[in-house]
Each structure stands twice: as structure tokens, then as C-alpha cells.
Structure 1
């Protein structure tokens, strides 16, 4: 039997103010073509369907239509909430989506109450069990009082323990005559970041080792990290990665969906199917004159530009006139002229958490808990429904 593993669609995500719904729609259409061509038994969407927990009506319409179209092929469709999604809304729409034949999970559930989705594969008639674990935040798994009083190692151990307990209880719903799968949205130890993840909900103080999944699953379908990768483990553990680069930090990532083939008695076989829809993101360096000469080469690509010339009045307007797809324009630090602009340019390339850590170091504050609290606060105030 065959399964399609995908995650981290981030529908509704903009890039430096530029809307990308048309690109995201093209990617989903391409994905639907893969579902049809391979006649998969199920589509597994491992979280972060949306960019924000309060998506626009247009973003919701795009996701719902995509899920319905995939279900119309005859495939089972199972989707879980990621850290960008609104878990309570997923739960509210769960009965309605179930009526349409789509399995939606916003919060962790016991195996017997929807935590394990069971169905017969249309290709073979054999049983499939999919244990689903939506995003489990550190605030949910580790109480605030413990976060304040415990060390980072203590907190990490508690989070690891809670996730392991959840996985063990879900795997109780597995059966020996079936293909048994796990789908989860979380950070696994040793996973490589893709570049666009939300730092407060990806920090490695809150992670689980790949060994936590055990040897029972035929395949573990993960979401959260945007880079396509496999983690060494007793069973196949894979991140599908995002199907489209969500920002310039992901410009070199390979965008794919993962085709999984398995039987109850054989290990999973995994094949990456490349996705090509959506504009390319690229970073280029040069003078305005040099970049203008290469405009034809750039085509419709979205650009991050570093200008190798001093700032002057009207320079940025001239760049945007010549290269309208130059969404981020900066002066190369070498040409900034003074230490202050150079420092500012360097700071712009650092995440808020890194800047706060540097601030603490300057003032002699050496407490990892303070940095963790800052990360969670920053995440709260930058979330759409804060």
C-alpha cells in the first residue's frame, strides 16, 4: 500500500509583504497530481497547514478545497495541527470534516477516542493504523511552575517523558496484522532546521530522540522542521520538509513530498517526489548596475539583495524600479561606511532570541530560563491570535 507524507504548508504565509496564495495553490495542485498518479491509500499531513492560527478566509478555502480534492481521489486524508495552527479550531471542525471523510486532529487524544485512525487500504484491503500526535507545546507538557523552578535539563527531561508516554499509549492501538504508522508534529533530537521555523517552539530544550518512537511503527511521518531529512532510529523516521520555501533562509532546501510503500510484514520503502511549483527564492550580491544587467537572468524569482556600494539618496527606490522582485534590499556591511550601520546590518541577520542572549551577556545575566521565557513571550506576541 502507498502513503503520501507532507507537512508544513504554511498557507497564507507572505514574504516581505508579498502575498503568495497563488504559488501555494499551484503547489497544492501539483501535490494533488502526485496523489492521483500514484493512487495512494492515504495522505498524511503532519501539521502547520496554515501560517497563522487566525488564517484568512482565502487561506482556509484553499486548504479545505485541497483536502477535499485529495479525498475525492479515494485516498484517506489525515491532518493534524502544528504549532502554527489553532488546535481548538481544528477540534471544532473535526465532526464536519469527518462527515466529508477527512480525519482532522487538533489535540492529542487516547487511541480509542481518535488518537489512532484505522481504515482498510483501498489497494490491498489490509488494515492501516495511524497514531496521530498533534503539536504538544512545552507549556502544555511542562507546567509553568516547573519551568520557573527547574533547570533546562529538568524541563527537557519532563517534556521527553510526556511525549514518550503519549506515544506509548497511542501505540497500544497498533495491531500485528496492519501497517502501523505514527504522524507527529515535533522536534526530534539532531534534526536540521530548515530556516523558517518559529524558534520559540523549536528550541532543542524541548525535543525527543528518534528512539522514542520505538521499533513498532513501519514509518514515522513528521512535521515541524522544514528541511527534508531522515533521522537514524529503530524504525524509519522522516521529515517531509515544507513543499515550498517559506523565506530566504530556505532558498536552498529541496521541496518534495514523500511517497511511502509498506506492507504489514515488510519495511517501508521511501521515495521523494520533487515539487517544482512556486517561485524560486535567491540571494544575490553586487552593485546596482551589475544587478540591473542580470535582471533577465532573475526572471520571476524573489530576491534578497546585498548592494556592494555605499548608501545614497534614492538608491533603494532605484533598486525597486529596476528589480521589482527585490523583496529585501540591504547594503553589504563592507560598504556601510561606519561601525553603526555595519552593526545594524549584522543585527538584522540575527534572530530576536540571539539578540536577547547577547543583551543578557552584556549585562552579566547567565540564566537559561530567562532566555526560554523570552522565547515563549516573543512567540506569544507574534502569533496572530495573541
Structure 2
């Protein structure tokens, strides 16, 4: 039996207010081809189907459209909820989806046996999946289990451990001798995160030790961490990672899916996900930025998104103006600048620091303070006078508005 592991689709995600709907559509189109080519029997999606608990109508439309595209491939689909998902929203249509061989477990059900999905072939159960969704605080601890911060963390860790142990016992009892796999959506100790992952369970400090998964499950398919990686444990424990980059910190990740073939063992093969767009982070002086932005490579299928950071040694208002002008005048087919900022290695001192050991600020006029700040910079006399004149005009406008 061939089982494909993915996670963290984050349908509806925006990157610096830029919609990633097109990225997800292209991913699903590629995924369908991948499933067909590799003759995949089962698709596991380990949580964070949506980016928001209350997704937009467009995001929901994409979700159901994707399920229908996948359903045409005669592939069993098992989806679990993540910390971004609303359990109630995911669970609402599960009875209908189950008739289409799509098993959705949005939140932890009262009866853990409802998370156990047997996979049959020719009437015989070949593999059983313990599809465990994201475990919330309310699933894991009672109100009476300690009131201190450390008590709460320990109760959460213990709750995760007990849930997986109980799932293993159910599989062992109801399906003796049948290989069992588990799905989970959690933060495992030792995993590497990216900027797009939000804290879970008290700021990720309730990290679960993967060694505590034990040795019963043949493979554990995890979601939540977007960087693909293997976690040290007694059995193969893998994060598939997100299939598309969800932040600029993921721009160098090699996105992948994981394919298990139960005939060959329990170590998955990597299937690289093609890049549909590029995320670029460009930094340097204003001259270096001009050069880099004028020598971009051939564009991808979708517009590549760029973060620009100006890095200069000394603060210079003219450089900020030049940066803004560079961004405004940037036009390159297949590229879009979505964020820019300026960083100065030797930051200008604030007014409070300048006058810390001399006059109180309340005894000085705004013009006095601005003059002192300007004199601390290495501007020529002409530039200083231009800046002071501009400041005076702004100050006059403020006074006029106050007196109006």
C-alpha cells in the first residue's frame, strides 16, 4: 500500500497581504498528477488545512474544489485539524465526506476510537491509521490539574502522551497484527521552526519529546512545523513540512511530500514539490540594491515576491528617500516588491540620549532638539540647511492646525 504524507496547506494564507490562492491551485494540480503517477492509495494531511479558523468563502471553495479533484483519483483521503483550524467547521460535513472515502477529524472526539481509520484491500485490513488532530488544552488537562505555569505545561505533555498511548492500545486490541501509523499536529522537541508558525500550547514550551511516542506505531506523520525534517525517536517520525513557502524564512526550504510504500518498509521517500514562484530577500546599500534589482533572473510561473532591506552604516534621510524612489519606480515583469525597510548600523541617537546629562527636554524648543540631532550627522552645510528649512515648514503647519 502506498501512503502519501503532507500537511500545513494553510488555504487562504496571505504573505504580506499577497494572496497565495494561485500557489495552492497549482500545488493541487501537481498533487493530483503525483498521486496518479505514483499510484498512491492513501493521502494523509496532518493538520492546518486552513490558515484561519474562520476562513473566507474563497478559501472554503478552494478546499472543497481540491477534495473533489483528489476524489477522482480513487484515493482514500484522511485529514486532521491543526491549531489554525476550527474543529467544528472541519467536522460539519464529515458524514458526507466519509461516504466519498474522505475521513475528516477536525477535533478530538469524545470517543478516541473515532480517530482510528482501518484501510482495507480486498476486504482485509492492511493498515490502520490513528488520525489524531491538534490537541488543545481543553482536550488534555482538567481544571483541577495544577494552577502554576509549570503544572499546566506538565499536564499538557502528559495529555499528549496518554492520547497516543491510548490510540496505540485501541489499534493493538481491535486490529492485532495489523501495522499501525499515527498522525499528529504538534511541536516535537528538537524541531526547527520558521517565522510562519504561530505558537501553540503556551508558546511552544510544552514541546513533546518524540521518544515518548513509543515503538508501536510504524510511522508517525506530523504536521505543524513547516520545515521538512525527521525527528529523533524509536520509530520513523517525520514532518512533511508545508508544500508551499508561507514566509520568507522558508524561501530556502526544499519543499516535499513523503511517500511510504509498505512493501519496502517504513522510511519514506522524498518527492520534491516544484516551486511555482520564488521568494527573494535582497539587502545592501542603495547602490547594491539598484544593481541586484536590475539583474534578476528569469521569472517563474507566478510572480516572484521580494523583500528589500536597505543597509547603510550611518543614518541618512536622503538614502531613505532614494529607497522609496527605487521601490516606486521598480517595474520588472514577473516580480513584485511586497516589503521594504531601512537599517542603519550606527543608529541616530534619540533626543533623550542627546540631552541625558544636560538640559531637560521640556526646557528646549522643537527647533533646538532637531538642530542638535542634525548636527550629530555627517551632513554637509547645504543639506543641513535644507533639512532645517523643511522641518520649519512642517512645524509651522502643525502650529497653524493647532490654532485653527
1:114 corresponds to? 114
- Partner-residue secondary structure (3-state), 2:329: helix
Range that drifts further, 289-298 or 133-142: 289-298
Bigger Rg over Cα: 2
Structure 1: gaps (5+ residues):
342-386
Aligned-partner Cα distance in 2 for 1:151–1:41: 44
1:157 lines up with 2:154 in the alignment: yes
Aligned-partner Cα distance in 1 for 2:138–2:323: 46
Structure 2: gaps (5+ residues):
352-404
Relative to structure 1, the CA distance from residue 49 to residue 112 in structure 2 (aligned partners, 3 Å threshold; closer, same or farther) is closer
1:168 lines up with 2:165 in the alignment: yes
What TM-score does the superposition give when structure 1 sets the normalisation length? 0.80
CA RMSD of aligned residues (A): 2.4
Q: State the Cα distance separating 1:179 from its structure 2 match.
A: 2.7
Give runs of aligned pairs for residues 276-287 of structure 1, distance below 5 A: 276-287=274-285
Q: Is the 8 A contact 1:282 1:304 kept in 2?
A: yes
**Match among 251, 255, 270 for residue 268 of structure 2:** 270
- 1:36-71 per-residue CA deviation (whole Å, 9 max, x = no partner) reads 111111000000011101111221121222222222
Q: State the Cα distance separating 1:169 from its structure 2 match.
A: 1.7
- Partner-residue secondary structure (3-state), 1:117: strand
Aligned-partner Cα distance in 1 for 2:336–2:47: 30
2:292 corresponds to? 294
What TM-score does the superposition give when structure 2 sets the normalisation length? 0.76
Give runs of aligned pairs for residues 1-386 of structure 1, distance below 5 A: 1-109=1-109, 113-121=113-121, 126-143=125-142, 149-152=147-150, 154-174=151-171, 175-201=175-201, 203-263=203-263, 267-295=265-293, 296-298=295-297, 299=299, 300-309=303-312, 310=316, 311-313=319-321, 315-322=323-330, 325-334=336-345, 337-339=347-349
Aligned-partner Cα distance in 1 for 2:291–2:108: 54
Aligned-partner Cα distance in 2 for 1:128–1:340: 65
Aligned-partner Cα distance in 1 for 2:210–2:97: 31
- Higher relative CO (Cα under 8 Å, sequence separation at least 6) belongs to 1
Aligned-partner Cα distance in 2 for 1:247–1:23: 13
| Structure 1 stretches of at least 4 aligned residues deviating more than 6 Å after TM superposition | none
Give the length in aligned residue pairs: 335
Relative to structure 1, the CA distance from residue 320 to residue 134 in structure 2 (aligned partners, 3 Å threshold; closer, same or farther) is farther
